[in-house]
């Protein structure tokens, strides 16, 4: 796939999302398996989004030693 094809596909998806006429949150609750599971997932995402170690995009590309150094910095 070419970049222009992927860009057009991304634009098409964004446009379709803007035109949505259904309640997005309500559909998300159904897809999640109910309101309780949706709320639990939302709380978990909020907790994970606050974790500084997970916010660093370089972490997935670090080796174990580098991750340990970063973790130790946050502990001190």
Each residue's pLDDT, cut to its tens digit, for the chain (76 residues) gives 567 888 888 899 899 888 888 888 899 899 999 999 999 999 998 998 888 777 666 656 777 787 788 777 766 5
31 vs 24: CA distance, rounded Å:
10
Distances (CA, A) of 22 to 10, 31, 38, 56, 57: 20, 14, 17, 35, 34
- The confidence score (pLDDT) of residue 2 equals 66
The domains of the chain are located at 3-75
Can you read off the two tokens belonging to residue 29? Answer: 């609750």
Q: What is the pLDDT of residue 76?
A: 57
Do residues 47 and 38 make contact, with C-beta atoms less than 8 angstroms apart? no
**If 0-12 CB within 10 Å is exposed, 13-18 middle and 19+ buried, where does residue 14 land?**
exposed
Q: What pLDDT score was predicted for residue 51? A: 84
- Tell me the whole-structure pTM to 2 decimals: 0.48
């Amino acid at each position: 796939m070419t970049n222009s094809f992927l860009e057009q596909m991304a634009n098409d998806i964004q446009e379709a999302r803007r035109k949505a006429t259904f309640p997005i949150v309500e559909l998300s609750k159904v897809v999640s398996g109910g309101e309780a599971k949706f709320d639990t997932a939302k709380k978990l995402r909020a907790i994970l989004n606050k974790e500084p170690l997970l916010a660093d995009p370089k972490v997935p590309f670090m080796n174990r030693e580098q991750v340990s150094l970063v973790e130790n910095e946050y502990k001190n």
